[in-house]
Structure 1
Amino acid sequence: MKLDLFHDLAEENGPFASVTFDETRTDPANADRLDARWRDVADRLRDAGAPEEVVASLAEAALEPTGRGGQWGRLLVANADGLLLRHDLPRRPDQDVSWGPVPSLLHAIRALASCLPHVVVRVDHIGADIEVNGGISGSEEELEVQGDHDVLHRFKGGGWSHRRFQERVHDSWEHNAATVAQRLDGIVRHYRPQVIVLMGDERAMTFLEQHVGEETKALIVRSDTGGRAEGTDEEKERLAIEAVLAATRAQAEADLVARFEEQTGRAEAATEGLAPVVEVLQRAQAEELILVEGREHDDQLWVGEGRLQLGTSREDAEMTGAEQPAQVPADAALVWAAVCSRAAVTLVDRAQLNPADGVGAVLRWSDESTPRARVPSVPGHGGT
């Protein structure tokens, strides 16, 4: 998962107050429970050393309604200058409260892991309705694209005039699909979705696929449910979209695991284990940080005030320029280093991958000084 949402935080100075907060309001009569939850969070921030003005800067943002029903969460980050980030999370998160040299973002990332930048296109012979979802950024856009050819309806009959009219209908459908395709190509270039869910009239879908660019075509997954027609079953459509997104996420994770295993097996552009991963993060070599869900989370790392100032020991952190390094949970330090170095983060199940210490990284580049992953020994051969 790309972490663009958090990149602006890397330009700010700590210490940071960060809160992952349950915003669920299933019963308006119980709104006071939200106030009680916030009071508990505020007390924990004060106990951790957060100044009163920092706590106060978070309070209004924490209690502002989401305006949406169901289970929601919210990530809040602030420093001495005030509120830096408020972002709603699409499901109820585990609550997390911290005050320290780096923000604690892992719980929010876990809640956002199901988000995927995608586009839904509902197409017919006239045009299309297009929904753009920006993934973890939470940005959404809806637009309608209409063609400008109006010879759209077939009629019964025969003879030469009938055939000419049918050809004009065919041309109108195709022209309108080309108009939609041009707009969709622009959306793909701008928003960089991971998948396009295409639904609606079969012939209109075929025309659209014929006119989009190769980059767009590679992202399209057809759905036999949904579209622009009246009477469309919205629940079946929603489930169909979720199924496509789940399959896309699973494939992306499988591709990452395969790439990691290939590179570690060749002792090239991947590494594993806490100390080696810290080293490649120090040097901004990591393209993707991999954290195994369910692993032990008791490790501590040392971090400084500057970006990518981290180490497995005080001395190691001081070697990166930290003047007064402090200990923080390893997960928080690793994720923050990924944010500061523009690396992505993927959470995987232990059954998918089990690197040393539950931590791995796929690298942007590798040289002779890069710490190597363990290469499993082969029976009859010497391991490395």
Structure 2
Amino acid sequence: MQLSFLAPLFDRPGPWATVYFDAAQNDEAGAKRRELSVREACRTLEEEGADTATVQAVREALTDIGPAEDPAGRVVFAAGGEVVLSHRLSRSPQSQIACWAALPRLTPLLELAGQDPDCLVAYIDRTGADFQLRGDTGAQDAGQTEGRQWPVHRTASSDWSERHFQLKVENTWEHNAGEIAETLTSAYEECGADLVVLVGDPRERPAVHEKLPEAVREVTVETEHGGRAAGSSSPVLEEAIERARRQYTRHRLDEALDRFHAGRVGTDRPTDAVEGVPALVEAAREHRIDTLLIRPDGPELGRETWVGDEPDQLAVRRTDARSLGEDAPIPVRADDALLRSAAVTAADVLIVPPSDEDGPDVPAGGLGALLRWTYEPTPA
């Protein structure tokens, strides 16, 4: 999961109000529950020291959230008397979270917003294609392309002239497959999708797949369900797209954990992975985190760390933070400090499911990272 959409949270100082809000059901009882939840969230913020203007901004934002537009709810981040960011959730929080802290509370967002990839779906026929970007918050149009419109239909005759015509038809299909592949590649690069799914004509679909550049082809899958024609969508197609997104996420996580197991600290040799708060804080200070691994049930996520105004001003001890040039460091949760650093340095973030009861906790304490370059352990 890339956190670039959180950039507005790091352009200004805190403290921050964070509320994960469930929109409840769309009925009279649901409306009453929403009203009570708004009051409870605002009361919690006030008790924790939030200023009146920020509490009021949060109250107004929460009041506007409804089940029709946001069936799973939203998270609201506010500071300085205004809501800075409001983001739709893909899963409802099991219980409401409201807090007032030096940094935004981010770890619940990783679970509730989902980490399945943004997916570019190409609905293909022999004359062109329509593109749609799918994410956890819904679908949006991503453009289209039209190729040659004639000739595109074969005939059944074996006459020489008809065979010549059929060759022209196949040339049209081939030409259009190339145009679709070219436009699809541009759309993929522009929209920042992680995965491509090809839907539609069983002859043209693999032809487009074959003409894609290798880098795009590696993240492209096909499904035989659905097509470009209006009304061709179906529950089977929707499930195929969602299954492709889940498989992509599972594959990325498996690859990351394989790298982590192979490169984790434990010997005197250089390593490509670290775990535990002290090692992660050091890596974050030096912008070396490539992929941050977080296990939400990890006991060290809430460990106290110290931060300054800049994302790379973080330390395990207050005295260390002062040595980094911060005269008045602030205590925060380790996961919030590391997620701020990950967002600002364009690091990826992956949620790691809880370990088996009989297996080791990975990463240790719930926090680990794959590094951007090899780390030489400091001699004891």
Q: Does the TM-score normalized on the shorter chain lie above 0.5?
A: yes
- 3-state SS in 1 of match to 2:271: coil
Higher deviation after alignment, 112-121 or 39-48 = 112-121
Percent same amino acid among aligned pairs? 29
Contact 2:75–2:89 (CA under 8 A) maintained in structure 1: yes
Residue 107 of structure 1: aligned partner: 108
Higher deviation after alignment, 357-366 or 321-330 = 321-330
Contact 1:282–1:309 (CA under 8 A) maintained in structure 2: yes
Matching of residue 282 in structure 1 with residue 285 in structure 2:
yes
Contact 1:274–1:356 (CA under 8 A) maintained in structure 2: no
* Matched pairs, number: 371
What is the deviation of 1:287?
Answer: 1.4
Amino acid at match of 1:64: D
Contact 1:102–1:333 (CA under 8 A) maintained in structure 2: yes
- 3-state SS in 2 of match to 1:77: strand
Provide the rounded CA distance (Å) in 1 between the counterparts of 2:260 and 2:171. Answer: 48
Amino acid at match of 1:23: A
Contact 1:302–1:313 (CA under 8 A) maintained in structure 2: yes
Provide the rounded CA distance (Å) in 2 between the counterparts of 1:66 and 1:132. Answer: 24
Deviations 1:34-78 (A, max 9, x none): 121111101111111111101112223223246746741212111
Give structure 1 regions of 4+ aligned residues with deviation exceeding 6 angstroms: 136-139
RMSD: 2.5
Residue 370 of structure 2: aligned partner: 362
Amino acid at match of 2:172: S
Provide the rounded CA distance (Å) in 2 between the counterparts of 1:114 and 1:364. Answer: 21
Provide the rounded CA distance (Å) in 1 between the counterparts of 2:204 and 2:232. Answer: 17
* Residues 283 and 4 (structure 1), Cα distance of their counterparts in 2 relative to 1, 3 Å cut: same
* Residues 29 and 150 (structure 1), Cα distance of their counterparts in 2 relative to 1, 3 Å cut: farther
Contact 2:133–2:140 (CA under 8 A) maintained in structure 1: yes
Residue 237 of structure 2: aligned partner: 237
Residue 92 of structure 2: aligned partner: 92
- 3-state SS in 1 of match to 2:297: coil
Amino acid at match of 1:168: K
Residue 378 of structure 1: aligned partner: none
Matching of residue 269 in structure 1 with residue 245 in structure 2:
no
Provide the rounded CA distance (Å) in 1 between the counterparts of 2:340 and 2:29. Answer: 38
Provide the rounded CA distance (Å) in 2 between the counterparts of 1:74 and 1:371. Answer: 43
Residue 317 of structure 2: aligned partner: 313
What is the deviation of 1:350?
Answer: 3.5
Normalised to the residue count of structure 2, the TM-score between the two structures is 0.89
Higher deviation after alignment, 39-48 or 27-36 = 27-36
* Residues 139 and 231 (structure 1), Cα distance of their counterparts in 2 relative to 1, 3 Å cut: closer
Provide the rounded CA distance (Å) in 2 between the counterparts of 1:263 and 1:253. Answer: 15
Provide the rounded CA distance (Å) in 1 between the counterparts of 2:23 and 2:144. Answer: 33
Amino acid at match of 2:338: L
Residue 253 of structure 2: aligned partner: 253
- 3-state SS in 1 of match to 2:369: strand
Listed as ranges, the matches of 1:1-384 within 5 Å are: 1-27=1-27, 30-65=30-65, 68=68, 71-80=71-80, 82-94=82-94, 95-133=96-134, 135=135, 140-229=140-229, 232=232, 234-264=234-264, 267-296=270-299, 297-351=301-355, 354-368=362-376
Amino acid at match of 1:333: A
Contact 1:101–1:304 (CA under 8 A) maintained in structure 2: no
Provide the rounded CA distance (Å) in 2 between the counterparts of 1:118 and 1:41. Answer: 34
- 3-state SS in 2 of match to 1:12: coil
Provide the rounded CA distance (Å) in 2 between the counterparts of 1:371 and 1:244. Answer: 42
What is the deviation of 1:168?
Answer: 1.8
Provide the rounded CA distance (Å) in 1 between the counterparts of 2:279 and 2:378. Answer: 5
Q: Which runs of 5+ in 1 are unaligned?
A: 373-383
What is the deviation of 1:244?
Answer: 0.7
Amino acid at match of 1:354: V
